[in-house]
Amino acid sequence: MSAGRRLRILAVSDQVVEALYSLQAREWLSPIHLILSCGDLPYGYLEFLMELFSAPLFYVHGNHDRPELLSDGRVRHGPEGGQNLDGRVVWEQGLLLGGLEGSRRYHPEGRYQYTEEEMWLRVFRLVPRLLWNQYRYGRAIDLLIAHAPPRSIGDGPDPAHQGFSAFRWLIDRFRPRYFLHGHLHFYGRRPMIPAGPTRVINVFPYYVLEIEVSDVGHHERKRAGDRRGCRSVSMGSLPGDATESHRPADRAPEQIAGVR
């Protein structure tokens, strides 16, 4: 990537959007440089998006994800060609990406479900890498994806949809530029909640984020901490919103500064 180029990220979660599940999506949504899935989506849908936009896919599992049986008898446990970001921090196209799967445990045998204590342990396992990133790049992480929200930041009142306090601590301590999640379905104005310098965004069912990044290699440290030029834009109508169509919004700066 050249210095100062804007990276367009398609984030998806929880619900298949028919307008995206078509070849026409490439005409009005391209370019897409990176796809992020926050869980609870069919693996075939994610593979289609990855192929449609010729973009790498990183994902975490949601609490409703299950292995899928293919017609040839194989069982897949995630989208083929995608990279599971759970419990990892990776460098991708000038950004430091991390991920944590799952929701709060509401069933004793629930898959991809965790108690608060279990999630604290999973968060702490990321700490050494985040501290190393702070030393090496001048920041710990740019963008963290999860299925569940942080506690009391856009989460729900019922036990299944409450967020994790461990996520709040992670945000307060390491200050990612963005925390993207799904899990909670909503219809109306998109929640985008500031938590210090971090913006917490529910991407259900899809969201396009634009971030300006510098062409910084792994060997360079402090230059990578430049946070200038960040903006986000929600593209397309939300489910149940009959007043808008799945067409791209005006990209003029005054239009894309907020959330539709």
Three-state SS at 216: coil
The pLDDT assigned to 217 comes to: 45
Host domain of residue 182: 5-256
pTM: 0.82
Is residue 232 over pLDDT 80?
no
Q: Model confidence at 218, in pLDDT bands (50, 70, 90)?
A: very low
Q: Is the peptide bond before 150 cis (omega within 30 degrees of 0)?
A: no
Tell me the average pLDDT across 168-196: 92
The pLDDT assigned to 3 comes to: 52
180 strand-pairing partners = 145, 201
The pLDDT assigned to 239 comes to: 34
| Rg of the chain over all Cα atoms, to the nearest angstrom | 18
Q: Model confidence at 240, in pLDDT bands (50, 70, 90)?
A: very low
Q: What is the per-residue pLDDT across 89-147, written as a single tens digit (0 to 9) for each?
A: 999 999 999 999 999 998 887 789 999 999 999 999 999 999 999 999 999 999 999 99
Specify burial of residue 120 (Cβ count, 10 A radius: 0-12, 13-18, 19+). middle
Specify burial of residue 39 (Cβ count, 10 A radius: 0-12, 13-18, 19+). buried
Query: How many residues are recorded in the chain?
Result: 260
Q: What is the per-residue pLDDT across 15-65, written as a single tens digit (0 to 9) for each?
A: 999 999 999 999 999 999 999 999 999 999 999 999 999 999 999 999 998
The pLDDT assigned to 168 comes to: 97
The pLDDT assigned to 110 comes to: 78
CA nearest to 201, candidates 168, 153, 249, 236: 153
Strands (E), 117-249: 143-146, 178-181, 192-195, 198-202, 206-213, 230-233
Tell me the average pLDDT across 173-198: 91
Three-state SS at 135: helix
Contacts of 30 (CB under 8 A, 6+ apart): 53
Q: What is the per-residue pLDDT across 62-76, written as a single tens digit (0 to 9) for each?
A: 999 898 888 888 899
Determine the Cα angle at 215 with ends 214 and 220, to 5°: 95
- Read off the amino acid at residue 180: L
Average pLDDT of the residues of the chain: 83
CATH number at residue 41: 3.60.21.10
Q: What's the domain count of the chain?
A: 1
CA nearest to 143, candidates 183, 94, 179, 190: 179
